Amino acid sequence: MFWVPGNFTAKIGVGALSAALCAGCVLPLSAQDAAAAPDAMQQRAAKTFVMKGAPRSAKKPMPAKPAALTALNPRERVVQLLDRFTFGPRPGEVDRVLAQGEDEWVAQQLDPNSIKDDVLYRHLGPYPTINMQAAQALEVYPDRAQVGTVADGKGPMPTDPLRAAVYELQVAKLTKERDQKKLLDANGQPKAEPSEEEKAAQKKADQATASRLFGELIAMPKNQRMDAVIKMPVDDRIILTSNGNLTGDQRNMLLADFNPKEKEAFYAMSGQVSSSGNMARELAEARVLRDILTERQMQQVMSDFWFNHFNVYVGKDSDQWYTTSYERDVIRAHALDTFPKLLVATATSPAMMVYLDNWLSIGPDSIANGVNPANPKSKKGNKGLNENYGREVMELHTVGVNGGYTQADVTALSAILTGWGVDNVQKGSGFLFDPKRHEPGPKVWFGYVIDDHGNAHKLAPNEKYASTFGQGMPLEEIATADSMKQGLTALNILAMSPQTAHFISTKLAQYFVADNPPSALVDRLTATYLASQGDIKTLLRTIIASPEFNSRQYFHNKVKTPEEFLASAFRATATDPQNPGALVNTVRTMGMPLYYALPPTGYYLTADQWMNTTALVDRLNFAYQLTNGKYANQKFDAPNVLAMGLLTPSSAGEFAAYGAGKPLPGAAPAAAKILPPPGTAKLVGLVATPSGTNGSASAATTSTSPISPGTQVAMHVLEATMIGAPVSAQTNQLIQQQLVSQPANATPADTLNLLTALVMGAPEFQLR
């Protein structure tokens, strides 16, 4: 037994469902895991999962073996489409797309501006900074530099009362921090930090003060509370807003009645001197809401795909305030555009320039490095190139690690891209090309010579060109604003390179078809890329129309990332996300903190990264907590999920026929053996009581299944609604074993909640 309601992780080990899910991954067994090593039945379930296509390694994929493809039927084709190009179908959505027509749905999704998104926009109201430029967002959530400017009298205090209250509090914190460093003991040495006992006593006193202040505020009319907060003495305001002083319930109750601007002010007063990290919080919470709620699903899927491809790390310096506009104005705006335009948009974004340090790169022969064209004897400084962006734009963004470039090409491209940077990062200014920082003159790069006006000449084999780069700057050479064209030409060459076409086609096929994508599909996509000049919509249409995408061999074979799993759990059950902050924390716990992928590779999106014992335990725990109303005050309605499944037009007739003796739809052949003989029972109830009946004499059956016919129907309805693909006999047997292991006092509602959690935790739900 591995299911322990309320203490789920206590006995799970590598239990039945976890074995079925994880066995496709190569995992070392810990002592605890070894004690619970899978038995023969679990190994069979594991083999079933491996056969679904989860690879052992996606980093070094083996070539996919060509095989005769078996076409999907029309319904499966729509399931495949929604599994891959949305964050999972909602109840009844497969039927709606079938009625609408697949081609019409695709055309509509490829034109996102034609789709209304009112529900999403209502949920995004509490996050104003997601619509702001960086400089404006810094006014809401000031960084330490902005606070220091005001504290030092070099900048004015804001006139807006809420903003002024934030700055007043943050300046007080900064001043106290500075004064603390100046304190000396009796011997003239820096004063020691308070002891742990002293810190604990102070924390307890602060919590008592915060609780008292909360009581005073909550007794006031809601519209007067924030006004009272900003009129408090600064020390009281610091105690009230500091993280950990109010209980979670107190804090949530107070925040619930603030308007969006008041909430932002409260958050800005919390934590340390810098509050700019709150921009990342708003951005991440808005993202999970988009994943779940947007009607523009294809745009959101592609936005997440391209953000991961052109990854930036929100924790890198000023990217705290640049990442929001990067995702909005660069990634999402061009997610369905052309790859060349998307590439240039990322290259001219402050977020990318900061993340890969190109804003620090200076040409050795540039004016910024001390070279004076009018004085040949001028002494150069010791500033130079930063090659981070020049390397990654080739290795990760375009031609790929095997794209045929050399270290000399990395250096030359880095010189070409000098001058590309940011106007003033501390103020949140935009992209700037600075000719004074640009390395002037033509560059030999990647088989081309490109001059400072962007004119490119492709070198013939064995053709030599005497580049001035690295040899000292000729007097007549000086960079101008026109010199930016040199970089634009280089980026366009990269974007239209056959190597880039193949690299991007491989990544798209890997994400939408298989971890080890079929080479024939990659070749067709490469040809499409070159013929369409990297048009993303055309590439997606090619995937959707391909025989591989529409074949049973590549159906329901991709493992969901944590983000995809959580979003699909809410979408599959039509659950309204009431606490997006909790979802962001859960994604982080599952190993995928949004916007915090440190390496430029982003997150790996293949099965081997996400299928392990810890991952499965996290997902099963989440499913249990969500369905049992124990997840962050999130409401969940399992009867509604079941009702929506039963009332779906395509399934209502199928399940109505059950009483006539037909086997349950979607059941695997082995699972059919556990159903009652034809005509022995009628569908009079859906969820069994712990004794195995639903309380009605008409439910009596000679079934060999450990659960009642009604519970079997509920199980298959939930599987059809939430998964939409065949579920193995092993999975169904494991689910049934957990249902009959419930406590004796379990109610029908408990059974339905548990059943929903088990379906959500099943191996098949982890696939898309």
pLDDT number for residue 380: 80
- In this structure, the chain runs to a length of 768
pTM of the predicted structure, to 2 decimals: 0.85
pLDDT over 60 at 282, yes or no: yes
Beta bridge partners of 448: 445, 458
Q: Encoding tokens for residue 79?
A: 């399931």
- Split at pLDDT 50, 70, 90, the class of 63 is low
pLDDT of residue 43: 37
Q: What is the pLDDT of residue 665?
A: 47
Nearest to 621 by CA among 765, 758, 763: 758
- Name the band, by pLDDT with cuts 50, 70 and 90, for residue 29: very low
* 486 within 8 A of 412, measured Cβ to Cβ: no
As a whole number, mean pLDDT of residues 63-88 equals 90
Write the pLDDT tens digit of every residue in 426-435.
999 999 999 9
Across residues 340-356, what is the average pLDDT? 99
Which amino acid is present at 220?
A: M
| Alpha-helical runs (H) found in 474-591 | 484-495, 498-512, 519-532, 536-545, 562-572, 580-589
| Torsion region of 602: left, alpha or beta (phi above 0 gives left; psi -120 to 50 gives alpha) | left
Q: Which residue has the tokens 């880039």?
A: 500
Quick check: 648 pLDDT over 80? yes
Calpha distance 676→713 (Å, rounded) = 12
Mean pLDDT (whole number) for 238-252: 92
The answer to which of 346-355, 440-449, 548-557, 684-693 has the lowest mean pLDDT is 684-693
Domain boundaries, the chain: 142-275, 339-496, 638-766
What number is the average pLDDT over the span 555-573? 98
Element holding 720 (H helix, E strand)? helix 709-722
pLDDT the model gives residue 717:
95
Q: With contact defined as beta carbons under 8 Å apart, do 716 and 664 qualify? A: yes
Angle at 223 between CA 209 and CA 166, to 5 degrees: 55
Q: What is the structure's pLDDT at 706?
A: 79
Task: Flag whether pLDDT at 31 surpasses 90.
Answer: no
d(CA 417, CA 454): 12
What does the block give as tokens for 37? 């090593």
pLDDT at residue 281 tops 60? yes
Gap between the Cα atoms of 368 and 384, Å rounded: 10
pLDDT-derived band at 708 (thresholds 50, 70, 90) equals: confident
Bin 64: left if φ > 0, else alpha if -120 < ψ < 50, else beta: beta
Residue 161 has pLDDT above 50, yes or no: yes
- pLDDT higher for 34 or 160? 160
DSSP secondary structure letter of residue 705: S
Average pLDDT value for residue range 173-193: 82
Given its phi and psi angles, is residue 419 left (phi above 0), alpha (psi -120 to 50 degrees) or beta? Answer: left
Q: Collect contacts of 256-261 with beta carbons under 8 A, ≥24 apart.
A: 257/222, 257/225, 258/225, 258/226, 260/125, 260/126, 260/127, 260/128, 261/128, 261/162
Contact call for residues 418 and 439 (beta carbons, < 8 A): yes
- List, in order, residues 6 or more apart from 38 with CB less than 8 Å away: 14, 16, 19, 23, 45, 46
CA dist list (Å): 661 to 594, 686, 696, 698, 707? 49, 17, 19, 15, 17
pLDDT tens sequence across 184-227? 766 777 777 889 999 999 999 999 999 999 999 999 999 999 99
| Per-residue model confidence as pLDDT tens digits over 472-483 | 545 457 899 999
Cα distance between residue 621 and residue 117, in whole Å: 32
pLDDT for 379 equals 78
Q: What is the pLDDT of residue 700?
A: 33
**With 0-12 CB in 10 A as exposed, 13-18 as middle and 19+ as buried, what is 533?**
middle
Average pLDDT taken over every residue of the chain: 85
DSSP-assigned letters across all residues of 499-526: HHHHHHHHHHHHHHT-SS--HHHHHHHH
What pLDDT is attached to residue 468? 63
Q: Which residues pair with 432 in a beta bridge?
A: 421
Q: How many other C-beta atoms are found inside a 10 Å radius of the C-beta of residue 567?
A: 28
The pLDDT score that the predictor gives to residue 591 is 94
350-400: pLDDT as tens digits: 999 999 999 999 999 999 999 887 777 777 888 899 999 999 999 999 999
745 vs 741: CA distance, rounded Å: 11
Q: For the residues 659-673, what does the mean pLDDT come to? A: 44
Among the residue ranges 90-99, 517-526, 635-644, 651-660, the one predicted with the least confidence is 651-660
- Contact present, 656 and 601 (Cβ < 8 Å): no
**What percent of the chain is predicted at pLDDT more than 90?**
73
pLDDT mean over 251-255: 91
Specify which of 56-60, 165-169, 376-380, 657-661 reaches the highest per-range mean pLDDT. Answer: 165-169
Question: If you ran DSSP here, which 8-state letter would residue 726 be given?
Answer: -
Please return the burial class of 753, using the count of CB atoms within 10 Å of its CB with bins 0-12, 13-18 and 19+.
Answer: buried
What is the reported pLDDT for 666?
43
pLDDT at 707 over 50: yes
Mean pLDDT of 297-314: 99
pLDDT for the residue numbered 3? 37
Residue of 11 and 149 predicted with greater confidence: 149
First to last CA, the chain: 28
- How many other C-beta atoms lie within 10 A of the C-beta of residue 10? 9
